[in-house]
Each structure stands twice: as C-alpha cells, then as structure tokens.
Chain A
C-alpha cells in the first residue's frame, strides 16, 4: 500500500510542531505587519523598521542554519564553506537589484555604476538576462547547485571526509572571496552591490516592501522546516544518518554513499542560495566579505549552539547567537569575538546536544521528579 505524498508530508511533523509553525506564521504574516503599520512610532506596541530588518535578517540566517543541519547534523559532513552558497544566491539576486536601479544611479547610465566606473561599455555575458526576475530566481538556485555539485562530486568521489573536507570548504570559500574582490570579475569588487532602489518595480525601502520580504522569508523558513523534516524522516534520511554512523556498512549493503551525500549537499547549497537572495534586499548590500571563512564558521556555531540533528535547534541557535551579536556589537563591540569563542567552547564541552539537548534533559529531569 502506497501512501500519497501529501499525507507523508503531513506526518513529517507532529501536532505540536504544526501548531508552533502556525503560530510563527501568524505572527510573521499578520501580527507584525499590523503592529508595524497601524501603531504610531512612539506607541509601545509599534514594531520598528529596525526590528523587522533585524528579525528578517536572522530568519535568513536560520534558513542557512537548517541547511547546515541537514548536511552536518544528519549527513555528518561539516562544511565550513556554506557562506559561499549563501553569497552566491545573494549575488545572483543582487544582479537583478542592480539592474532595477535603472538610470537612477550616480552616473545616470544604463549600466550599473561600478561598470561605468571601470569604463565598461556593455554588460558582461553572465549579466545577460539579469533584468528578468524569473531568470535570476533560477540562477539563485542553479548557481549554488552547480558549484556544490561539481565540488561535491569530486570531493565525495575521492572519499574526502572529516576535517579534510572542512578545510577544503574553507579554502573554497576563501578562494571565491578573493575572486569576487577583483573588480575585473564583474561583481563590483570589494564594494559589491548596494544602493538598491526597487524590487519588481516597488520601492525597496517602503514599509510594504519590507513587510512582504519579511513575510516571504518567514514562509520560506517554514516550508524549509517542513521539507527538511520530511526529508530526514524518509528512508533517504535514514540512509543518510546510516552513512554518518557507519559508511562502510552502507556500501556493503548496496547503497552508493556518493549520490546520497551529493543529493543532500546540493539541496543544502540551494537552500543557502535562497536564503542569500532573501537576505540581500532586506539588508541592502552584498559584498565579498560574506564569503570570508569566519562567516562560514559562524554558521556552524549557530547549529552547534542550537543542537545539531534537530532542525529546530539550528533555528533557535541562529536567533540566540545573532540577537546576542547585535546587542554585543552595540554595547561592547570589542568583546564580541571573545564571547563567540567562549560560547563555542562552552557548548562543545558542556552542551554537546546544544540548547535543544539541554531542554530535553531538563524536561526528563522534571518528569523524573514528578514520578
């Protein structure tokens, strides 16, 4: 008897999780917009533009963290280069945003400002079609997927694992950063893309546009969580965790780990690309520093703090770490990196299962005391 896919997807989450997801979406799609638009700025109930941008940004990070959890928590492959896929998605969508500026740039030209500055006369070939939303939306997913596929195919076929894989991914994102720093690469050099004016013709800084982007990010995060829950509960997910725990056994019962790893690796990269594309219009800038090795390491820290292999943990981790970051960098900017390092050490030593693990332990203790 085969069950239809819809029922299987419904059974990916339990009732409580569906309820939590529903509340989250109601907050993001109804409550926040109402509070932002209908209350004056001095009201206690007003949600500021700053808060919306911050939360929107963190939801993009949370999306990356879930993608990281799929590959690290379930696949056992620690990537320290996921910032690359995020940035590639961001750059792909940034191209579209640059074209949407039109003649409103400083030089009033058809070409983006940085190209005028470089004295380029026409668009490079890879910018062709970047004025089309549909084509760029395709690129947002296709470029990270292609890079991930080619890199992953050779890495996994050569059976590169563990720390060696992590180091190579660091090198990959670092190399890409150096490439994007060059003006000749055609992506704005170290300034990257900024000064966006419009998206799909709407003013990018208007409250309504911000709220729509915010809502889209929330929906994307929710969809990704459901999709990921279905993925890890499918037989595919069980094979994946089996590869993580005993790869040679998996091979000897006839699965080829290459394709399993490659599939989850590419899915993870595509999710990062989408997160990057949602991030850029909300934050208003994309530059090569997004590809710096430190950024990718931070992604791993979010997942570790929240609890890997739990899907919801990385979301919590991304929120906790980034909220702490935005508070620290305002109050004690010079201590942020020390705090981050300390956090990583504390979590690794004392909370191997992250915050979700801590919560579960506390619940179990409470349950034991009640008995």
Chain B
C-alpha cells in the first residue's frame, strides 16, 4: 500500500502530472512551495442548464490580496461555494496549494485545511455572546469529545481578547451578538475568520452596510493581513477596492472577463460594456 505521508514528503515534479497523481489524496499539509495558494482550472457549474460558472480559471498567489468584481449573477458567490465545498463543480479542478483537492473535501474539512469564509449576509451566532462567537471559531480540535471536555486556557482567552480589540468589539464581549449593529456584525464575522487562523480568506462583500469610516478601517485591516494570508475579496464598493490595491479580476457570465490593476480594468472596453449595459 502506498504510504501517503511519504508521498507528501517527496519532491514531486511540477506540472499537471504531479497534480493528477495527488488527486486521490483528500487531506494533507498545505504546500505553497510554488507560490500558488488557490488554483481553479476550467470550473463549470450549471444549475438546470444555466451555467453559473463557465470554464472559470483563476490562480491566487500566496500572500496575495485579490479583488473580484462583476455584475450580479456573474458567478462570484458560486465560485466561493465551489472553493468551500458547498457546491461541487460539474467539471474542472480546484486545488488549495499544490496538493489539496478541494473538490473532494467536505465543508468542515476545507475549514480545517485553512480556508475561512465570510458570507455576503453576516452569519454569526445571534444567541451567543460576542465572546462565545469567537471562542467557537477558534482554531482547535473540533471533534465532539474535545468540545465536551473543552475549557478555555489562559492563552486562548488572551487570543480572544486580542481579536476583540482588533475588531473593536472588546466592550461588547458579553452582549448577545444579535444585538450588534450591521457593521459590527460584519466585523465580528471577520474576527471569527481570524480566530480560525486560515491561510486563505474568502470575503463576500465584507463592507456592505458599513459606514465610510468602518469601510476604511476594514481596508486597512485587510491590507495588514495580506502577506501572511491570502485574501480573496468580492466587493462592489470601488472606493474600497481602490484602497485595497492589488489585482482585480472581473467576472462575467461565469468566467474571467479581465484581470489587472483597478485603473486598467476600469478602462477596459469590455468591462465598461458589461457594467453599463449593451
């Protein structure tokens, strides 16, 4: 029988051959040796004949901050669903690092290998306190028995306190999360993502409903996270996208229409057509 651990330690040859061999392996260490954090190739997803994603290919480098824009129905959320295991593609490849085949993992497994996701609509645990929300999200052994016996250690409390300060909710720690303002809920969800210590963060419209001030603070936070983490941000707010800098990918009808920095993309004739209508 093949020893899977040996396979991971092998210096595998680069190229599609190697990736195919690894296809059957479902879990493993994140391998960023080639500088690519997320790799999507020819992903197609159709719902009752409608192609939500149409031969979508996309590569995100390790430590990169990438913005995805595009009109409604361009496939942005479906793309995130594919990456996080919520939707299975009809065809195509989705790799996290060099070796982790995302199309074969379940949602909790994908969370464990290091992908965190923020939803378009803030989804937090409204009945739990802000503190408990972060506690539940914290990177730790998440099996049943461990949860039964779990008791917060001092350093874990410190980490939660640190995150609370970062998302400016330290004064709200003991309030039920359902009582927070919309912007605060967005921040809490971002805080929950950070507690997971993910390598790749997927953020679906993270600043919707935030004040301008909150939006700018969020941009600063994301820029400071890039480098250590890879970030994929879906956003409509162009001022926010501009503030983030970095490459912008434009999606249209399920595939990539244009890619480049914001100024280039904004002057692209096809992009203007798509946004302004034909």
Interface residues of A (CB under 8 A from B): 1-3, 5, 8, 231, 234-236, 238-239, 241-242, 245-246, 248-256, 259-260, 263
Contact = CB atoms under 8 A, between A and B. Distances in A.
Nearest to A264: B144
A238 B148 contact: no
A146 B276 CA distance: 61
Q: Which 9 A-B pairs have the closest CB atoms?
A: A254-B111, A235-B150, A251-B107, A236-B147, A249-B123, A256-B108, A236-B148, A235-B147, A242-B125
B41 to A, nearest CB: 23
A255 B150 contact: no
B55 to A, nearest CB: 26
A204 B192 CA distance: 58
B154 interface: yes
Contact of B107 (A239, A241, A252, A259): A252
Interface stretch (B56-64, B132-140, B262-270): B132-140
B147 A252 contact: no
Interface of B: 84, 86, 106-108, 111-112, 116-117, 119, 123-128, 132, 135-137, 139, 142-144, 147-151, 153-154, 192, 196
Nearest to B152: A235
Nearest to B113: A254
B148 A242 contact: no
A2 B132 CA distance: 18
B158 to A, nearest CB: 13
A310 to B, nearest CB: 14
A246 B124 contact: yes
Contacts of A2: 151, 153
Contact of B142 (A231, A234, A245, A255): A255
A239 B136 contact: yes
A249 B154 contact: no
Contacts of B153: 1-2
Given A252-B116, A263-B144, A238 B135 contact: yes
A331 B222 CA distance: 71
B123 A238 contact: no
Nearest to B148: A236
Contacts of A254: 108, 111-112, 139, 142, 196
Contacts of A239: 136, 147
Given A246-B124, A252-B116, A1 B107 contact: no
Given A1-B153, A241-B127, A259-B143, A253 B148 contact: no
Contacts of B111: 251-254
Nearest to B202: A252
B192 A242 contact: no
5 contacts: A2-B151, A242-B136, A252-B117, A255-B147, A256-B142
